[in-house]
Amino acid sequence: TAFCSYTGEILDKKTPLLRSMEVVSEQALRILRLFGNNTATRVTTTVGPEQEYFLVDKKYFDQREDLVITGRTLFGAKPPKGQELEDHYFGNIKQRVSDYMKDLDKELWKLGIYAKTKHNEVAPAQHELAPIFTTSNIAADHNQLTMEIMKKIALQHGLVCLLHEKPFAGVNGSGKHNNWSISSNDGQNLLDPGDTPQDNMQFLTFLCAIIKAVDEYAPLLRLSAASAGNDHRLGANEAPPAVISMFIGSELEGVIEALENGTTYKKPNGSEEFVIGVDALPNFPKDATDRNRTSPFAFTGNKFEFRMLGSADSISCTNTILNTIVAEVLDEFATTLEKADDFDKALKELLIKTIKEHKRIIFNGNGYSNEWLEEAERRGLPNLVSTVDALPKYTEKKYVSMFEKFKVYSAKEIKSRTEILLENYSKVINIEALTMLDMVKKQILPACISYTKTLCDSAISKDTVGIDSSVEKSLASKISSLTASIVNEVKALDEKVISAQDCEEGEAMARFYRDEVFTQMQTLRASVDECEMCIPEDVWPMPSYTKLLFTV
């Protein structure tokens, strides 16, 4: 459905996505015409979003106020076992989950959503579903429907499907890998190296355009994955860091370097040499290093996988931005090449110039390492750590001008989206803080006080008959001390939540919630989680991580 305001501003996510698909088609066709392709009449971007999710037993979900209200656990001591054995990832799918997956497939197929891949993910109780690729706008619609159907079918199995990016601390969160490609309606995947020198130069042209687009517009890609929930994932050794980089694999990097330096490209085994633009290049096998798992934007054969997106997000914003930034660079390329007297010479010069200026974005190493963050800083790559750092970039003049040039967004539409996203961030943190306060005051503190009394009564009884009561006294003292800390931290959080209302709405308020409220929430959680480890399961007022993660 498309929505617009009384004065004509676009209010939905579908219309900008459709507009971006039109502009990338128009600019890509200009490039194809330069390579002599007069048969293609349209270029389409396609997407296959991999949807990660958790399944928990509904009876335990219903006993967790934090899960019910916020979608994630705000408290929870670490269980004895997490994901360190990787036995869930490589293990069999449990029967109850398998039954759910089969019913989910059937319902999705009825709607024309071709769900195909399904498997366990790394964290306990975590799984993934992936559909067959389709055009970007249909893929976005399908993914929205998929998330709704996933939750609906889960209830039929006595389960709850959690789509929050980080429902449990200490184990991996959930993302949504956005596999993006671009194809013409005469049967060419434009990210697939061809069998002739001309086809390969065409492939390298589109590849270099994407390299430049990702480098120049990295903040836009980063903010397309920005949310309060996704901030828990990015850079936590389970998802890419907040620094945008591109993985293209060692063989393709060798081709790029050969083109830049004007040398021949040698296959890794040294058996053959290829002159870029003269010889047909070899097929590029999917890189075997598996480092694409740590890269935000990875070339994986004939597509790019954008891995930053959060599991609860719509894919529309990401693909609107991706389509538009690629269209912008293709427009620049086409404008330059259409004026050239010698196309081959101008093309080679353009590609070499692009590689020299934008190769800093290419990184095939381990994106999880601290060394990469230091290297990225030396390269001048932006590191927009949180949502609050990323969202204000939306309204920068360079980006607004690009969107207005292609009539994807107006300046007013971008400003309103930025304000709404910042407001949503503040509201999410505020709701989480209020939920924490409610749980502590009504459930956790009463449990702590009650069990402390039980221990004290036991100690008095033992003392009366002359039995050693040191264990009860020691444990009661520890819980009493933790309870006092919790009370103080609750008071501090209460004050910060109230103070947040005095901030100016927008970026200032969002920063206060991130720097002050969220930080205090983490402090409170640490004390509560420590207290949970001291109190019996039948006294603690909510199901433990062990029950939530290991009983489905």
Per-residue pLDDT tens over the stretch 114-124: 999 999 999 99
Which of 4-8, 307-311, 342-346, 355-359 shows the lowest mean pLDDT across its residues? Answer: 4-8
| DSSP three-state, residue 93 | coil
Please name the amino acid found at residue 235: G
CA distances in angstroms from 327 to 141, 236, 360, 373, listed in the order given: 22, 32, 21, 29
What is the pLDDT, as a whole number, of residue 3? 86
Instruction: Please give the average per-residue pLDDT across 365-382, as a whole number.
Output: 92
Contact status, residue 173 vs residue 135, Cβ threshold 8 Å: no
Whether 429 and 227 have beta carbons less than 8 Å apart is answered as no
pLDDT at 286: 47
pLDDT at 52 over 60: yes
Lowest mean pLDDT among 57-61, 66-70, 134-138, 294-298: 294-298
Q: For residue 398, what are its two tokens? A: 């360079």
Phi/psi at 310 (5° precision): -80, 155
Domains and CATH numbers, the chain: 1-28+191-306+318-409 (no CATH), 42-174 (3.30.590.10), 423-550 (1.20.120.1560)
Confidence of residue 258 (pLDDT cuts 50, 70, 90): confident
* Structure token pair of residue 497: 């939540």
What DSSP character marks residue 243? Answer: B
Q: What is the pLDDT of residues 71-94, one digit of tens each?
A: 999 999 999 999 999 999 999 999
Cα 518 from Cα 231, distance rounded (Å): 12
> What pLDDT is stored for residue 265 in this prediction?
73
Residue 412 is predicted with a pLDDT of 96
* 472 neighbors 456 (Cβ within 8 angstroms): yes
For the chain, what is the total number of helices (H) and then of strands (E)? 20, 11
Residue 140, token pair as written in the block: 């976005």
Q: Look at residue 238 and tell me whether its pLDDT is greater than 90.
A: no
Q: How far, in Å, are 239, 248, 356, 450 from residue 384 at the CA level?
A: 15, 23, 24, 45
What pairs with residue 522 in β-bridges? none
Q: Which of 314, 321, 316, 302 is nearest to 244 (CA)?
A: 321
Q: By the 8 A CB rule, do 159 and 15 touch?
A: no
Rounded distance between C-alpha atoms, residue 481 and residue 532, angstroms = 13
pLDDT digit string (tens) for 269-307? 665 656 666 555 555 544 545 546 789 999 988 899 999
Task: Write down how long the chain is.
Answer: 552
pLDDT at 169 over 90: yes
Q: How far apart are the first and last CA of the chain?
A: 37
Give tens-digit pLDDT for 299-333: 988 899 999 999 999 999 999 999 999 999 999 99
Least confident of 17-26, 241-250, 259-268: 259-268
pLDDT-derived band at 2 (thresholds 50, 70, 90) equals confident
Q: What is the mean pLDDT of the chain?
A: 93
Written in H, E and C, the secondary structure of 319-362 is HHHHHHHHHHHHHHHHHHHHCCCCHHHHHHHHHHHHHHHHHHHE
Give me the amino acid identity at 486. I
pTM of the entire predicted model:
0.94
What stretch of H or E contains 235? Answer: none
**Contact indicator for 215, 296 with CB cutoff of 8 Å:** no
Q: Which of 136-140, 198-202, 310-314, 429-433 has the lowest mean pLDDT?
A: 198-202
Output the six-digit token pair for 530: 């420590």
Percent of the chain with pLDDT over 90: 84
Q: What is the pLDDT of residue 254?
A: 84
Asked whether the predicted pLDDT for residue 268 surpasses 90, the reply is no
Binned at pLDDT 50, 70 and 90, residue 260 comes out as: confident
Side-chain-facing half-sphere of 400: CA atoms under 13 Å: 15
Averaged over 38-43, what is the pLDDT?
97
